Amino acid sequence: MFHLTPWMNTKWILKKSVAKSLNNPSVIRCVFFVGVLSLFAGCSAIEEFNTKRYDNHNALGDAWLSDQMEPPEIDISGSYKSDDWGRSYFSQNGAEVRGHLGDFPVKGVVSGQKAYLLVTEGGWYYYSAIVEMPRPGLLTGYYSRSVPYKRSARNDLLLITTD
């Protein structure tokens, strides 16, 4: 004769009740609803993570700009063109720079003989650049996908005035 142990009996009862529940439409709807809710809860957690990540990333870019503290010796204000970026313009007020590099908004500072720029897209610092003015009407330097700027990931940047 076969006897059920308490553990086997509990397991058998659970198995039978789960099988019954899966045939009940209201239980299926409830499980589906809980699953959908958990997806939305996960989305807000991901959104919060991305917001913190963007904030930290942008804080690094702002710190990079604030580290450039020499008095400006050049003025990069004007309209420029570039084969890679298209039309660009900058407006400099003291050491602060605002403008566009191609279609992208730019903020930056001039420190000494160099301009340090952050190129944004959707509020996110997407590129960093360092340019010099070897002669009036010409900006040369490098840009990097890294923020703050990294020499190891740089590309040439050449801007010629259109003024």
| 1 within some domain | no
Say if residue 116 is in the same domain as residue 46. no
| pLDDT of 93 | 97
Say if residue 129 is in the same domain as residue 90. yes
* Tokens, residue 91: 């407006």
| pLDDT of 119 | 95
Within 10 A of 101 (CB to CB), how many other CB atoms are there?
Answer: 27
Say if residue 58 is in the same domain as residue 112. no
Say if residue 60 is in the same domain as residue 74. no
Angle at 115 between CA 107 and CA 70, to 5 degrees: 110
How far apart are the C-alpha atoms of 57 and 148, rounded to whole Å?
A: 9
How far apart are the C-alpha atoms of 73 and 110, rounded to whole Å?
A: 8
* Tokens, residue 50: 């991305």
Task: Give 104: exposed, middle or buried? Use CB within 10 Å, 0-12, 13-18, 19+.
Answer: middle
Flag residues of the chain having pLDDT under 50.
7
Residue with tokens 């989305």: 43
| pLDDT of 24 | 67
Q: Would you state the torsion angle of the CA atoms of residues 149, 151, 155, 159, taken in this order, to the nearest 10 degrees?
A: 60
E strand or H helix at 135? strand 124-135
Backbone angles phi, psi at 145, to 5 degrees: -70, -15
| 25 within some domain | yes
Say if residue 108 is in the same domain as residue 155. yes
